[in-house]
Amino acid sequence: MGDLVGQSEIAAVTQLQLRRLAPEPDWQARASALANALEEAAPGQKLARSVLLVAPPFSGLCQPLGLLAERYGWQVIEPPEDLLMSPDAAAVWWDRQPLDQPWVIPELAKFWLRNYAGLAAIRELLNRVASDQCAPGVVGCSSWCWSFWQRYLPDLPVTVQTLAPMGAEELAVWLESLPGNASRPPLRVRMANNNDWVIPLKDRPALGAGRHSTYLKDLAALSRGNPGVALAIWQRALRARPDDAQLAGDGEAASPTGTATRDCWVIPLEQVSLPEVSTVSRPMTSVLHSILLHAGLTTDRLALVTALTSLDVLRALRWLERYELVANGEDGWQVTAQAYPWIRRQLQGEGYPVDGF
């Protein structure tokens, strides 16, 4: 990679290359990092009181919390099948949960529906947490869900902690670590248009000299420091030479200095094709906002919380899916990570209450 490479000589990476250069994160590693953070706050994981961990979508909080519960033997509380219940029914339901021992809720947004009859479960839990009527627990909560409940119950005395956004240096360390463990050769990334260095972020003489790009700083700004969003954009920006034997094989080759490396390029952010549309209707923005509030919803529940007909909801979803703004998965319909920056700006511009992240 020491030789200059023209932009015409590179092409989009294959799925195999993508899995080796920018795979999905190691959730076990994220769980360990989260455990270390909790250890600093509460040595021995013996929390003095319940903690609400608030993070934006795609921050990777749910999976590590589930793994953390397995590691320490904490009880995982799953949401009730029927979220439409009276306050009395909600109290009875929580009485049946193992809240007398350490417990975890990976995603609080799954415990409610934006409907008068769908608020009771979270309201009862937060009241119990605020009044110390249960053993200490850890609650993961989408920033959009918490934005609603913070306005709905503004004076609730609960302990809230947030994940710090990633800057350029944090993104560099994280993206470098994704392809493998420390024993594997380092990842080297340059700009496709001018060969400026992107990774490593700082000079490493053994890997060659050259100018450094502000790419990761710009990526951090575009993604608002959200690692999942940054990764989705990064994956779309990665490029490689079609005849690169190291990427077609194991993704490793020797540099001019004899050091094994994994080399690739990224195109400028303004050239990355991200999902967006010129106009979007009110039903569509309502669907998008509701999906974010609840961290994913089925078609039936979207009709319930938006007051749209099932046909209107389905029509909106199919249109949004066509433009890669939403995707259907195990947890229902979700907004896509690569579209999230545009969706957030669009909702804010339309006057919807947005999260603080």
Taking only the tens place, the pLDDT of each residue in 247-277 is 444 444 444 444 445 789 999 999 999 999 9
Q: In this structure, which topology does domain 27-162 adopt according to CATH?
A: Rossmann fold (3.40.50)
> What mean pLDDT do residues 22-38 have?
75
d(CA 54, CA 164): 10
147 is written with which tokens?
């934005």
Q: Kindly give the residue spans of alpha helices, DSSP state H, lying in 153-213.
A: 168-177
pTM > 0.85: yes or no: yes
Angle at 213 between CA 217 and CA 58, to 5 degrees: 35
Asked if 47 contacts 129 with a C-beta cutoff of 8 angstroms, the reply is no
What CATH architecture does domain 282-349 belong to? Orthogonal Bundle (1.10)
Residue 240 has φ and ψ, to the nearest 5°, of: -150, 160
90 is written with which tokens?
């909600």
Per-chain mean pLDDT for the chain:
85
Give the residue with greater pLDDT, 288 vs 160: 288
pLDDT at residue 249 in the model:
46
Range of lowest pLDDT (91-100, 260-269, 278-287): 260-269
> What mean pLDDT do residues 80-97 have?
96
> What mean pLDDT do residues 291-307 have?
96
Domain boundaries, the chain: 7-23+178-271, 27-162, 282-349
Helix axes 227-237, 340-349, angle to 10 degrees: 120
Contacts of 131 (CB under 8 A, 6+ apart): none
The answer to whether residue 346 scores a pLDDT higher than 60 is: yes
The answer to whether residue 342 scores a pLDDT higher than 80 is: yes
Q: Identify the three-state secondary structure at position 76.
A: strand
Q: Are strands 332-335 and 326-329 parallel, antiparallel or unpaired?
A: antiparallel
Q: Any idea which residue has 């560099």 for tokens?
A: 172
Asked if 321 contacts 290 with a C-beta cutoff of 8 angstroms, the reply is no
pLDDT at residue 184 in the model:
62
User: Side chain identity at 86, as an amino acid letter?
Assistant: S
**HSE-CB for 89 with a 13 A CA cutoff:** 10
> What mean pLDDT do residues 268-296 have?
95
